[in-house]
């Protein structure tokens, strides 16, 4: 919980049942919204302060995430059952078939076929050392490897929620989006993606606390897990241009670059990749795969692997240019999480080898950018339906399962397009708040950019507002309500 400086009384915090129309209605059955005379944030809510409640919610969600995979924990990760039951996990696949269970350490052992980003491979190898040597095909060591990773991912999940809470300032309940998101429950225990998410949020928190070198180090380590972490620094650079505050960006960039160089030299790796394996394009969940599936259906030309790669790069650059123009032309300096959300969202829209777990990249950024529980629930419904369609389609492509259990390609393509559409709409809503900052729920609290670190309250150096309008001035708490 955040307190004001110089010994003043604690600051009040936002209450979702007061601020969100959907939650206000849903609380009617349990007594209604919090009363107007209550003082959340000013009065200690012992024994259940916000942080403790969010940790309990995250732990409960993590237990549900393990239960989702329990059919495979009991009966084994075998094809096609693991696809039809949607309990597939990269952990079991890497342990059984990519050398981890045979003692082949990724990167340093040529016998290892594990081909994920460098630091993720190193992390997976270290975890595999905790499992007693035995036949990797047997059920016991695979389950042990899964359980150890589940504990570590739970810790990363809790850390992500706490860091998001710290960044949310007087809206700590927004971190509940990260704690209870259904797509996190379904995908958190399928890969090591949550570790990359944690590193990105920790890097953002360090930047917000003016610890710029540490922020660069954390973002550099995160880039070794996932390329999307680099885009958080991209948001820093864009706001540096807007404010003219070059020192924070420079120190963070040096920390990031040195960390990456040391990692590349020690592990013998190159630049962070797009995490794109052309061999997986037929079972990816990208907009390009959707086009190819529909093109095959109607007999139209399909995109070759090389064309997909070029189109993805061009598409990302085009979307990035739009984000740059938006940041520079907005009437008031945008908040750092908003810019980061748009950049990562652009990558999510065009990434060739997209997987459902990559949605986790967006969760903390959305929680800090735009919180509307109606939109959140709608987004999650689409993401969960897409997640289920993804596994049914992979079951059709990668196994000889029963035909009646498979999903036809047009339905899978429709699920992909629905996911892309709702993600694009969320980006549009965030961009709308950047262009109309009076509707930004965070700035209704007479604060500027609590996650922005040195950008918080900084003046604009490059602005397009009319003369006499100060874009950096706090938005009055009595501003107009968001029409949606």
Q: How confident is the model at residue 443 (pLDDT cuts 50, 70, 90)?
A: confident
pLDDT recorded at residue 266: 67
- Structure tokens belonging to residue 113: 């076929």
Selected residue with higher pLDDT from 19 and 304: 304
- Mean pLDDT lowest for which of 48-57, 147-156, 192-201? 48-57
Cβ pair 154, 61 in contact under 8 A: no
Q: Is the pLDDT of residue 6 over 90?
A: no
Average pLDDT over residues 337-341: 96
- Structure tokens belonging to residue 284: 């990816």
pLDDT recorded at residue 268: 57
Average pLDDT over residues 304-322: 93
Tens digit of each residue's pLDDT (9 = 90 or more) over 94-105: 888 887 877 777
- Structure tokens belonging to residue 375: 């939109």
Tens digit of each residue's pLDDT (9 = 90 or more) over 217-238: 999 999 989 889 999 999 999 9
- Mean pLDDT lowest for which of 118-132, 435-449, 454-468? 454-468
Pairwise CA distance, residues 10 & 44, whole Å: 10
pLDDT recorded at residue 158: 97
| 3-class secondary structure, 43 | strand
Q: Is the pLDDT of residue 438 over 70?
A: yes
Tens digit of each residue's pLDDT (9 = 90 or more) over 345-362: 999 999 998 999 999 999
Out of 18-27, 124-133, 251-260, the most confident range is 251-260
pLDDT recorded at residue 176: 92
Q: Is the pLDDT of residue 50 over 90?
A: no
Tens digit of each residue's pLDDT (9 = 90 or more) over 396-412: 877 666 666 778 888 99
- Selection from 410, 379, 368, 381 nearest residue 393 by Cα: 410
Q: Is the pLDDT of residue 480 over 50?
A: no
- Mean pLDDT lowest for which of 76-85, 129-138, 204-213? 129-138
Average pLDDT over residues 282-305: 86
Average pLDDT, the chain: 81
pLDDT recorded at residue 14: 59
Pairwise CA distance, residues 150 & 332, whole Å: 42
Predicted structure pTM score: 0.85
Pairwise CA distance, residues 109 & 106, whole Å: 6
Q: What percent of the chain has pLDDT over 90?
A: 47
- Selection from 221, 313, 273 nearest residue 116 by Cα: 273
Selected residue with higher pLDDT from 113 and 48: 113
Q: Where do the structural domains in the chain lie, given as residue ranges?
A: 46-270+282-455
Q: Is the pLDDT of residue 252 over 60?
A: yes
């Amino acid at each position: 919980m955040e307190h004001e400086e110089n010994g003043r009384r604690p600051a009040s915090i936002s209450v979702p049942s007061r601020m969100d129309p959907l939650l206000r209605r849903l609380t009617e059955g349990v007594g209604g919204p919090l009363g107007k005379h209550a003082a959340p944030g000013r009065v200690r809510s012992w024994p259940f302060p916000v942080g403790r409640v969010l940790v309990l919610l995250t732990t409960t969600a993590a237990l549900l995430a393990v239960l989702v995979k329990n059919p495979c924990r009991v009966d084994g990760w075998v094809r096609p059952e693991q696809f039809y039951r949607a309990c597939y996990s990269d952990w079991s696949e890497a342990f059984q078939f990519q050398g981890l269970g045979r003692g082949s350490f990724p990167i340093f052992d040529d016998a290892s076929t594990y081909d994920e980003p460098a630091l993720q491979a190193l992390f997976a190898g270290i975890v595999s050392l905790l499992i007693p040597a035995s036949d990797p095909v047997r059920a016991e060591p695979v389950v042990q490897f899964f359980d150890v990773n589940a504990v570590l991912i739970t810790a990363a999940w809790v850390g992500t929620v706490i860091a998001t809470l710290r960044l949310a300032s007087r809206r700590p309940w927004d971190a509940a989006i990260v704690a209870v998101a259904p797509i996190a429950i379904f995908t958190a225990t399928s890969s090591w993606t949550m570790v990359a998410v944690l590193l990105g949020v920790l890097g953002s928190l360090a930047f917000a606390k003016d610890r710029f070198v540490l922020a660069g180090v954390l973002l550099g380590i995160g880039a070794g897990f996932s390329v999307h972490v680099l885009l958080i620094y991209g948001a820093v650079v864009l706001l540096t241009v807007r404010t003219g505050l070059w020192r924070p960006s420079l120190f963070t960039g040096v920390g990031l670059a040195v960390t990456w160089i040391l990692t590349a030299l020690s592990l013998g790796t190159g630049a962070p990749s797009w995490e794109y394996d052309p061999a997986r394009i037929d079972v990816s969940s990208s907009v390009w795969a959707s086009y190819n599936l529909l093109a095959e259906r109607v007999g139209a030309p399909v995109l070759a692997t090389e064309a997909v790669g070029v189109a993805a790069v061009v598409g990302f650059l085009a979307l990035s240019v739009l984000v740059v123009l938006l940041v520079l032309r907005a009437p008031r300096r945008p908040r750092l999480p908003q810019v980061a959300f748009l950049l990562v969202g652009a990558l999510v829209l065009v990434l060739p080898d997209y997987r459902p777990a990559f949605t986790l990249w967006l969760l903390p950024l959305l929680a800090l950018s735009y919180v509307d529980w109606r939109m959140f629930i709608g987004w999650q419904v689409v993401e969960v339906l897409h997640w289920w369609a993804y596994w049914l389609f992979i079951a059709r492509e990668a196994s000889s399962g029963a035909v009646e259990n498979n999903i036809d390609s047009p339905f899978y393509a429709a699920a992909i397009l629905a996911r892309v559409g709702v993600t694009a709409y969320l980006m549009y809503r965030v961009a709308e708040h950047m262009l109309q900052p009076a509707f930004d729920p965070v700035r209704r609290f007479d604060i500027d950019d609590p996650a922005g670190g040195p950008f918080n309250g900084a003046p604009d150096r490059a602005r397009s507002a009319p003369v006499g309008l100060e874009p950096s001035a706090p938005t009055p708490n009595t501003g107009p309500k968001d029409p949606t």
